[in-house]
Amino acid sequence: MSELRYRVILEPEEDGGFSVVIPAFPHGHTQGDTVEEALANAREVIGLEIEYLRERGLPVPASDSPNAPIEFVSVESPAA
């Protein structure tokens, strides 16, 4: 079995904890009260997504490149 690596984005929540976005799996979302819990939940979601795809004979996304750039974009917010 080969190791696959996927980028996850942890977004702090106002009330505490973290929401997790997994770009390679747009339908795979999770959360956790701590960074460790959020990452553990992300691993579980990714595993379930891969299992779902394989059971249906669909392609599994390739590992994310560790050198892929992450950029931030600023936009002007219209006055409310």
pLDDT digits (tens, 9 = 90+) for 17-61: 999 999 999 888 999 999 999 999 999 999 999 999 999 999 999
Q: What is the pTM of this model?
A: 0.81
Which is higher by pLDDT, 65 or 54? 54
How confident is the model at residue 16, as a pLDDT? 96
Q: What is the torsional sign of CA 64, 7, 1, 50? A: negative
How confident is the model at residue 31, as a pLDDT? 96
How confident is the model at residue 72, as a pLDDT? 81
Element (H, E) at 48: helix 35-55
Q: Is the pLDDT of residue 73 over 90?
A: no
